[in-house]
Amino acid sequence: MGSISRREMLALSGAALASGAAAPAGEGLDAVARKKGVRFGSAVGVGTPPNSAFDDPGYRALLARECGLIVAENEHKWYVLRPAAERYDFAHADRLAAFARESGLGLRGHTLLWNRDEWSPKWLATHDFGPRPRQAAERMLTEHIRTVAGRYPQMDSWDVVNETVDPATGELRETVFGRILGPELIDICFHTAKAAAPKAKLIYNDYMNFGPAEAKHRAGVLKLLERLKARNAPIDALGIQGHIGGGVDSPDMTRFSPADQRDWRAFVDEVRGMGLDLLITELDVNDKAMPADIPQRDARVAGLTRDFLDLMLDYRELKQVIVWGMADRYSWLQGTSPRPDGLPKRPLPYDAELRAKPMREAIAAAFRAAPERKAWA
Ligand code: 9MR
CA distances from 60 to 54, 189, 348 (A): 6, 32, 16
CA 132 to centroid of ligand 1, rounded, Å: 33
pLDDT in tens, 88-113: 999 999 999 999 999 999 999 999 99
| Residue minimizing CA distance to atom 13 of ligand 1 | 73
CA distances from 136 to 52, 150, 173, 187, 280 (A): 36, 21, 20, 17, 35
CA 331 to centroid of ligand 1, rounded, Å: 10
Query: Is the distance from the beta carbon of residue 320 to the nearest atom of ligand 1 less than 6 Å?
Result: no
Query: Is the distance from the beta carbon of residue 159 to the nearest atom of ligand 1 less than 6 Å?
Result: no
Residue 288 has pLDDT above 80, yes or no: yes
Compute φ and ψ for 214, nearest 5 degrees. -100, 10
Residue 22 has pLDDT above 70, yes or no: no
pLDDT at 14: 42
Confidence of residue 246 (pLDDT cuts 50, 70, 90): confident
Strand 39-44 to 318-323 pairing: parallel
CB atoms within 10 A of CB 98: 11
CA 324 to centroid of ligand 1, rounded, Å: 9
CB atoms within 10 A of CB 307: 18
| Residue minimizing CA distance to atom 3 of ligand 1 | 332
Q: Are 319 and 38 in contact (CB under 8 A)?
A: yes
- CA atoms of 198 and 155, how far apart (whole Å): 10
191 closest CA partner among 240, 142, 238: 142
The more confident residue out of 359 and 251 is 359
Closest atom of ligand 1 relative to the 207 alpha carbon: 17
- CA atoms of 240 and 216, how far apart (whole Å): 16
Query: Is the distance from the beta carbon of residue 79 to the nearest atom of ligand 1 less than 6 Å?
Result: no
* Residues in Cβ contact with 330 at an 8 Å cutoff, skipping those fewer than 6 apart: 45, 50, 51, 52, 53, 56, 59, 348
Q: Report the percent of the chain where pLDDT is more than 70.
A: 91
Q: Are 29 and 363 in contact (CB under 8 A)?
A: yes
Residue 299 has pLDDT above 50, yes or no: yes
Query: Is the distance from the beta carbon of residue 78 to the nearest atom of ligand 1 less than 6 Å?
Result: no
Query: Is the distance from the beta carbon of residue 51 to the nearest atom of ligand 1 less than 6 Å?
Result: yes
Residue 5 has pLDDT above 80, yes or no: no
Over residues 165-182, the mean pLDDT reads 97
Closest atom of ligand 1 relative to the 324 alpha carbon: 1
CA 213 to centroid of ligand 1, rounded, Å: 21
Query: Is the distance from the beta carbon of residue 175 to the nearest atom of ligand 1 less than 6 Å?
Result: no
Residue 311 has pLDDT above 50, yes or no: yes
How high is the mean pLDDT of the chain? 92
Mutation probe of ligand 1 site: the residue of 73, 81, 322 with most atoms within 8 A of C-beta: 73
Over residues 153-175, the mean pLDDT reads 97
Closest atom of ligand 1 relative to the 50 alpha carbon: 4
pLDDT in tens, 45-93: 997 666 689 999 999 999 999 999 999 999 999 999 999 999 999 999 9
Q: Are 228 and 204 in contact (CB under 8 A)?
A: yes
Residue 4 has pLDDT above 50, yes or no: no
- CA atoms of 38 and 373, how far apart (whole Å): 8
Over residues 261-268, the mean pLDDT reads 96
**Could you tell me the end-to-end alpha-carbon distance of the chain, in angstroms, rounded to an integer?**
21
CA 119 to centroid of ligand 1, rounded, Å: 9
| Residue minimizing CA distance to atom 7 of ligand 1 | 74
* Residues in Cβ contact with 221 at an 8 Å cutoff, skipping those fewer than 6 apart: 165, 204, 206, 208, 238
User: Which domains, from first to last, does the chain contain?
Assistant: 6-369 (3.20.20.80)
